C-alpha cells in the first residue's frame, strides 16, 4: 500500500447467534465485488478473527474485508453504482450488520 491510498474496511462483529459463512464470503462475495469494482480495486484482503486482547477471549470481529483504492474519487466512482448489488449479496453469507470504515493510508 502506498501513502495516500484509500482503504475500505468492512468488519463483521463476532456476535452470538449470528451467522457468517466464511467460505461463501471468500469464494463468492469477494469475486462478485472484484468483478463489479474492477480495476479500481488495487488490492484486497480478508482477515479471519482468531482472538481478542485477553488470553482465550473471542475475536471482536469474526471477519474483516479490506479493499484499497487510489483515491476517494476512485472509491466513489466504482462503489457507488454497485452498492445495491454488493449489499444485496450480504444475506447470502451473513445476518450481521457490518461496521464500515474508510481510511487514508498515512505510512
Tens of pLDDT, residue by residue over 74-99, are 999 999 999 999 999 999 999 999 99
The whole-number pLDDT of residue 76 equals: 97
The whole-number pLDDT of residue 1 equals: 85
The whole-number pLDDT of residue 25 equals: 98
Instruction: Name the grid cell of 17.
Output: 447467534
Domain segments of the chain as ranges: 6-104
Please give the CATH architecture assigned to the domain spanning 6-104: 2-Layer Sandwich (3.30)
Which residues of the chain fall short of a pLDDT of 70? none
- From the list 19, 89, 78, the residue with the least C-alpha distance to 44 is 78
Distance CA 81, CA 8 (A): 16
pTM of the model: 0.95
Amino acid at each position: 500500500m502506498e501513502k495516500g491510498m484509500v482503504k475500505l474496511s468492512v468488519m463483521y462483529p463476532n456476535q452470538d447467534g449470528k451467522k457468517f459463512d466464511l467460505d461463501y464470503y471468500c469464494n463468492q462475495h469477494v469475486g462478485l465485488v472484484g468483478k463489479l469494482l474492477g480495476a479500481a480495486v488495487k488490492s484486497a484482503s480478508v482477515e479471519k478473527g482468531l482472538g481478542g486482547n485477553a488470553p482465550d477471549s473471542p475475536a471482536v470481529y469474526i471477519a474483516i474485508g479490506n479493499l484499497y483504492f487510489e483515491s476517494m474519487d476512485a472509491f466513489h466512482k466504482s462503489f457507488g453504482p454497485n452498492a445495491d448489488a454488493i449489499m444485496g449479496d450480504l444475506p447470502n453469507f451473513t445476518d450481521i450488520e457490518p461496521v464500515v470504515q474508510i481510511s487514508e493510508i498515512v505510512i
